[in-house]
Every structure is written in C-alpha cells, then in structure tokens.
Amino acid sequence: MSVRVLVTGGAGFLGSHLCDALLAESHSVVCVDNLLTGRSSNIEHLRNETRFEFQQADITQPFDFGAVEYVFHLASPASPVDYTNYSIETLKVGSLGTFNALEVAKKYRVRFFFSSTSECYGDPLEHPQKATYWGNVNPIGLRSMYDESKRFSEATVMAYHRTHKVDTRIVRIFNTYGPRMQLNDGRVVPNFMKQALRGDDLTIYGDGRQTRSFCYVADEIEGFLRLAKSDEHLPVNIGNPNEFTMLECAEIVLRVTGSKSRLRFEPLPPDDPKQRRPDITKAHTLLGWEPKVSLEEGLKLSLDYFRSAVEATA
Ligand SMILES: NC(=O)c1ccc[n+]([C@@H]2O[C@H](COP(=O)([O-])OP(=O)(O)OC[C@H]3O[C@@H](n4cnc5c(N)ncnc54)[C@H](O)[C@@H]3O)[C@@H](O)[C@H]2O)c1
C-alpha cells in the first residue's frame, strides 16, 4: 500500500537516502528541511519525481503540510563540526523541533519514527552497548548540545507515546557513512577519504588504537524501514558491530583509494569516546536485521562520490 510520508531533515545525508528508499517502496514523500546542514544537491535527482515534494522550512516553528500517514523525524545537525557550529540550533531542533514533529503525528494519528544516536550512551562504561544501557554522558561537555538534545528528544517521544498514545519508534544510529556525506564534517570516513584522495597525510588522533564501528548507509536505511514497520516502541540500535581501530581504518582507506598518503598523529580531542560498538542482538531478533556490507565494500561503493566531491573543491 502506498502512503504519504513526511521526512524531516530529508535533504540531509541519511534523510535523502530514506526519501529514495520510501519512493522505491512506491510511497509519496514530503521532505521538510531548512538546509541548515543538508544540501539541495542531495535531492536534486528527485526534482522531476511527482511523488516527491520539498518544503523548505524550519521545524523549530510549528508546521503542517497536510495529512500524512507516517512521520520520520531526522532533522538535526549530526556531525561534530555541525553541532559545534550550530549548538543552539541543535538544542532547538532536538526540543522544539521534536515537539512540532510529534504534534503532526498526534494530529493525524499516525506513526512516528525518531532518529536518535549512539551519542546517548556518551563515553560508555558498558561495551558493547545494549539499547537498555542508560549511558555515561557529560551534560556540560563539548558534545553535550547534541547528546542531551537527543536524550531530551527520546524522553519527549516516550512522553507522547505514554500520554497521547502516539505510535512511536526510536532508532539509535551508530556511525553511518556513504555517498552524500559532507566532505568537511569532521567524521573519520570523509576525513580519511578526502585526505587520501588529495594525497594529504591522514590525521590520526591519539595513538590510533581507539575503535569505531562503521555502518554502510544502505544497511542503515534497511534497518530503519524494518523498525518502522515493526511494533517496537523502545529504542533499537542499528549499526555495524565490526570494530576497527583508526589505524586499521586508515589502512583500508589507503587500499581502496590506492593512495600513497602517510599518517600524521595529533593529540586526542577532549570528550572523544574511546570505544563505541552496538549490541545489535535486539535488531537481529526483532527485525531479522544485520548489516551486510563490509567496510572495504562500502568504501568502494562510496569512492566515486568522494572522488567527485574532492574534485568539486579542487
Ligand atoms: N550519520 C550518522 O552517522 C548519524 C549517527 C547517529 C545519528 N544520526 C542522526 O540521523 C539524523 C540525520 O543525520 P545526517 O547524518 O543525515 O545529518 P545531516 O546534517 O546530513 O542531515 C540533517 C538534516 O536536518 C536538517 N535540519 C537541521 N535542523 C533543521 C530544522 N530546524 N528544520 C528543518 N531541517 C533541519 C539539515 O538541514 C539536514 O538536511 C540526525 O538526526 C542525526 O542526529 C546520524
């Protein structure tokens, strides 16, 4: 059955891939975005798609673009560079924006999907992190505007679920990469790809033994869709549990790009989590979901995008 779906943050990295996936399932999509950190080029290919509608609007103001049958709420700066530059906007979209998006779901009595984050776990004391873990977050730290906005949003989503019986879902997204990521967003994959393709040194913070897990965007979106169709109201982790040290990741990037770049070591930034890896047992049991694309394959699939993005800035 095809329905009209609203996606906040639909011109962003993940939002635009979600719009593509919903259109591929023959739904109609209303994409609402103020282009704060997203780009119209991410949805340019949908310009002539009659089932796609773009509304440029700031969702920290109340909004209503007509009846919809599902609300996906993704709008929020997401990369460390963006939420540092837009700290107040991040707190506003994670509070006022979440209320306004929930009001739409409440008004039309439809399901609501919220994109939360592994940052809710802060610098975790439990490893890997299960969705039942409450986290170890510094409420005034350099990432607090993002972490606390997402934790506040989760609380708001649960309050609408318990008080107004809105049918809600919460996904806790772990590090996702792929085409349409911003080159300068400060995250590991675009940083390394950009540096490798330009022949610059790859910057390693600390000794490079801290680990991260990386999920390819197509796997992440498949997880969203499965969760959206499920009946689970409590948070579900969607991410790739395979851990790589920064040194291993750099090695794979050099192999995929064929670059001769060297490594340059710099001090570890404050509040940088040492380790973060999802426990995806719940997604596996409940949704039959697990990631399929390895880091090396995902980087190969992203290579053309990063190459043209680097060329465009040359
Ligand atoms: N990419 C990841 O690895 C990752 C990890 C964890 C969580 N997430 C979450 O997924 C969502 C999407 O992340 P992304 O990586 O695609 O980031 P992104 O910055 O590419 O996309 C976010 C979009 O939200 C829009 N936006 C921000 N404030 C808005 C406002 N007030 N009104 C309307 N639109 C607004 C931006 O313009 C942008 O298009 C975010 O909620 C983020 O917190 C992403």
pLDDT tens string 261-297: 999 999 988 766 667 789 999 999 999 999 999 999 9
Tell me the C-alpha to C-alpha distance, in Å, between residue 227 and each of 25, 28, 35, 89, 125.
15, 19, 26, 28, 27
Please give the model's pTM, rounded to 2 decimal places: 0.97
* 170 Cβ closer than 6 Å to some ligand 1 atom: no
Q: How confident is the model at residue 253 (pLDDT cuts 50, 70, 90)?
A: very high
Euclidean distance between CA atoms 11 and 5, whole angstroms: 14
Q: What is the number of helices (H) and of strands (E) in the chain?
A: 10, 13
Residue 165's region, left for phi above 0, alpha for psi from -120 to 50, else beta, is: left
CA-closest residue to ligand 1 atom 27? 76
User: Helix (H, G, I), strand (E, B), or coil: what is residue 164?
Assistant: helix
Asked which of 111-115, 209-213, 250-254, 303-307 is least confident by mean pLDDT, the reply is 209-213
pLDDT in tens, 152-203: 999 999 999 999 999 999 999 999 999 999 999 889 999 999 999 999 999 9
Mutation test residue for ligand 1: of 6, 8, 37, the one with most atoms within 8 Å of CB? 37
Q: Are 179 and 309 in contact (CB under 8 A)?
A: no
Indicate if 146 belongs to the active site.
yes
Does any ligand 1 atom lie closer than 6 A to the CB of residue 12? yes
221 CB within 6 A, ligand 1? no
User: What is the predicted pLDDT for the residue at 314?
Assistant: 80
Average pLDDT over residues 208-224: 95
Q: Find the 44 Cα to ligand 1 centroid distance in Å.
A: 18
d(CA 92, CA 293): 35
Among 9, 58, 55, smallest CA distance to 180 is for: 9
- The contacts of residue 272 (CB under 8 Å, 6+ apart) are 205, 206, 210
Lowest-confidence pick of 15-19, 32-36, 122-126: 122-126
- Give Cα separations from 77 to 6, 86, 88 (angstroms): 18, 7, 10
The rounded Å distance from CA 12 to ligand 1 centre is: 6
Cβ(76) – ligand 1 distance below 6 Å: yes
pLDDT tops 70 at residue 213 = yes
